[in-house]
Amino acid sequence: MDESSVLPVTGFERKKMTGSELAGFFRRIGKRHPHQEITFLCIGTDRSTGDALGPLVGSRLEEQGFTNVVGTLKFPCDAVNLEMRMSAIPKEHIIVAIDACLGAASSVGSYQVSGLPLVPAQSVGRILPAVGHYSVAAVVNVNGPKPYWTLQMTSLHQVMEMSRVLAESIISGFNPY
């Protein structure tokens, strides 16, 4: 895939990507914005296997020296504290929102990237504010009639692998910056 087609432009809602395409997406963000102005908002909780992707990514980024990270395993950013945690991010920062989601069977294991905000907890029927200038939604399982149960029963291996790929892609994409 041509790297110029990876970064969303005006009117672009979501683009499905594989893990191998993610580094190009992050590289383009890094070129558009100075690294010190980017905050990674890693949404989720460590109390649900399927929803732990965001905090896993945030923890990996912190371990690699990224300083602008909100949402880790130790201090998750979830539905309860999202708005409070968002208010602590400086207004001039570019926010990359990261969250797990449920989707079609053919999309499980892929990533939905966008140059638009992410709406957390949509698949479980919660109403939360849209967040981020850029977003990545990792499709960790199939959407169905019982989304909370589905997230609880999502494969830990699937979530761990997707979070590893996502964190490595961010690190690789921002490495030159």
Q: Give me the tens of pLDDT residue by residue for the chain, a chain 177 residues long.
A: 233 333 444 445 679 999 999 999 999 998 888 655 899 999 999 999 999 999 999 999 999 999 999 999 999 999 889 999 999 999 999 999 999 999 999 999 999 999 999 988 776 667 888 999 999 999 999 998 888 889 889 999 999 999 999 999 999 998 754
Domain count, the chain: 1
Q: Domain of 26? A: 3-174
CATH number at residue 149: 3.40.50.1450
pTM of full prediction above 0.85: yes
**Under 8 Å between Cβ of 82 and 45:** no
CB-CB contact of 118 with 99 (8 Å): yes
Q: Which residues, 6 or more positions from 42, have their beta carbon under 8 angstroms from its beta carbon?
A: 54, 55, 57, 58, 61, 69, 70, 71, 72, 77, 98, 99
Q: Report the residue count for the chain.
A: 177
Would you say the C-alpha torsion 101, 105, 5, 24 has a positive or negative sign? positive
